[in-house]
Amino acid sequence: MPVVCLRKKDERVRAAQVLPKATAKFNGDKEAMIVAIRQALYASKIISYAQGFRLMREAAKEYKLSLNYGDIALMWRGGCIIRSQFLNDIKQAYTQNPELENLLLADFFIDAMAKAEAGWRQAVILAVQLGIPTPAFSSALAYYDGYRSERLPANLLQAQRDYFGAHSYERVDKPRGEFFHTDWTGHGGKTASTTYTV
């Protein structure tokens, strides 16, 4: 969440008085929603660990480090405020596969996400309907949806770059590395800028 939303109390008080508010009310099953919120918290927490370990993996590549991710998880469990029970599951995941690209690909976490996903979505949808900011839940869900998507709307960026600067684009119906340029308006030339790799 942007810093302005968290820190500017006086500004938020003024904004609350003039900006429209969500008017929806929750009339559903409170106990079921508590379960859904618990699932959203659990899934979002898994995502935060998956992202953290992924960042460590990228840093290890960049700085040529040899990191034992399972031992890092146990170190946190023993001497830090992060004492989550599933740190043991993280250790187990890296013991089974030291080259694991992302925690979300380990069997334990695949299963955990499958069990939590429906409630997680329910909680985020309800928060949006009620106008309640849930930046950790919703951004974690966006990461999850992006990570598990073979094709993303970001492909549109290549077309936009070609339209504005003739940078060319790849097509999903052609092999990777084959680039195309389109005269989008009918007034441009056939010259394309150099290609780039994404």
DSSP for 90-124 reads: HHHHHHH-TT-S-GGGSHHHHHHHHHHHHHHHHHH
Helices 69-79, 30-63: axis angle to 10 degrees equals 120
Question: Which pLDDT value is given to residue 195?
Answer: 53
Furthest-apart CA atoms within the chain: distance in Å = 66
Identify the band that residue 56 occupies on the pLDDT scale cut at 50, 70 and 90.
very high
Question: Which pLDDT value is given to residue 80?
Answer: 65
Rounded to an integer, what distance in angstroms lies between the CA atom of residue 102 and that of residue 51? 8
- Choose between 13 and 4: higher pLDDT: 13
CATH no., domain 151-193: 1.20.5.320
Burial 174-198 (b: 16+ CB within 10 A, else e): eeeeebebeeeeeeeeeebeeeeee
Residue 11 has pLDDT above 60, yes or no: yes
Question: Which pLDDT value is given to residue 130?
Answer: 97
Residue 196 has pLDDT above 60, yes or no: no
| CATH 1.20.5.320 residue window(s) in the chain | 151-193
Rounded to an integer, what distance in angstroms lies between the CA atom of residue 108 and that of residue 102? 12
Beta bridge partners of 180: 169
Whole-model pTM? Answer: 0.81
Q: Are the CB atoms for 130 and 24 separated by under 8 Å?
A: yes
Residue 83 has pLDDT above 70, yes or no: no
Three-state DSSP at 81 gives: coil
Question: Which pLDDT value is given to residue 192?
Answer: 57
Residue 89 has pLDDT above 80, yes or no: yes
CATH topology assigned to domain 29-147: N-(1-d-carboxylethyl)-l-norvaline Dehydrogenase; domain 2 (1.10.1040)
Nearest in space to 79 (alpha carbons), one of 87, 68, 91: 87
| CATH 1.10.1040.10 residue window(s) in the chain | 29-147
Percent helix / strand / coil, the chain, rounded to 5: 60, 0, 35
The residue-averaged pLDDT of 93-100 equals 96
